């Protein structure tokens, strides 16, 4: 998806550049989107947010894994002393918990993918807006993403300038992670 959007932008920019190239020399820039993601405050914020989300889901799954493990250990340790009915009930509990764990793993994977996709889409939209504005402001005919270029001289690399521009355009306040605060507890009813 990312390559398709960037490719479309590149083709449009090249077409526009060829039309205007008859009057002005071509000015070409190349940038590394991965570096921009890693070096900008917004990119770092998004990575931190995704890491926090992943860690939260892993902790939830570890809790469920512990429940299953504890029930299996209980079944193993008490197998000889349990009545057939209690043993069957405990085996069903283990199976239910294992099924819940598998469903939770699948759901966590889907949720994580949704979070990643949303974050990538937002960041990409911000990046493309910054690149477009940077290209116009600096008089570039074409600005291409590095992975789309077979060869480019280091002199045409504008990644550092784009990191600086991105950090200016996307304010640090918006890039700072929101403080994690729990909602206030509801007031306890007073006894009459």
The pTM of the whole model exceeds 0.85: no
Query: What pLDDT does 182 receive?
Result: 42
Q: Residue 80: which pLDDT band, with cuts at 50, 70 and 90?
A: confident
Domain boundaries, the chain: 2-175
Domain 2-175, CATH: 3.30.910.20
Q: Residues 170, 42: contact at Cβ < 8 Å? A: yes
Q: CA-to-CA distance for 64 and 107, rounded, in angstroms?
A: 13
Q: Extract the tokens encoding 171.
A: 């304010």
Q: What is the pLDDT of residues 15-68, one digit of tens each?
A: 555 554 456 789 999 999 999 999 999 999 999 999 999 999 999 999 999 999
Whole-Å CA distances, 96 to 28, 64, 67, 104, 151:
60, 11, 11, 12, 56
Q: What angle do CA 48, 180, 108 make, to 5 degrees?
A: 55
Instruction: Give the count of beta carbons closer than 10 Å to the beta carbon of residue 56.
Output: 11
Question: Is the separation of the CB atoms in 143 and 28 below 8 Å?
Answer: yes
Per DSSP, helices labelled H in the chain are: 2-21, 33-39, 41-78, 84-138, 159-169, 172-175
Q: What average pLDDT score do residues 136-164 get?
A: 94
Q: How does residue 175 score in pLDDT terms, banded at 50, 70 and 90? A: very low
Q: What is the pLDDT of residues 102-136, one digit of tens each?
A: 999 999 999 999 999 999 999 999 999 999 999 99
């Amino acid at each position: 998806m990312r390559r398709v959007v960037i490719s479309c932008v590149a083709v449009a920019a090249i077409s526009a550049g060829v039309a205007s190239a008859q009057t002005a020399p071509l000015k070409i820039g190349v940038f590394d989107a991965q570096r921009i993601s890693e070096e900008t405050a917004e990119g770092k914020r998004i990575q931190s947010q995704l890491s926090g989300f992943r860690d939260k889901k892993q902790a939830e799954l570890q809790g469920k894994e512990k429940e299953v493990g504890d029930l299996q250990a209980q079944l193993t340790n008490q197998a000889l002393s349990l009545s057939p009915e209690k043993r069957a009930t405990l085996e069903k509990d283990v199976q239910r918990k294992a099924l819940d764990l598998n469903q939770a793993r699948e759901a966590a994977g889907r949720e994580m993918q949704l979070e990643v996709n949303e974050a990538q889409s937002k960041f990409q939209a911000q990046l493309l807006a910054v690149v477009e504005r940077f290209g116009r402001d600096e008089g570039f005919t074409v600005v291409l993403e590095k992975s789309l270029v077979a060869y480019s001289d280091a002199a045409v690399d504008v990644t550092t300038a784009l990191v600086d521009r991105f950090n200016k355009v996307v304010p640090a306040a918006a890039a700072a992670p929101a403080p994690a605060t729990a909602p206030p507890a509801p007031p306890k009813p007073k006894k009459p």
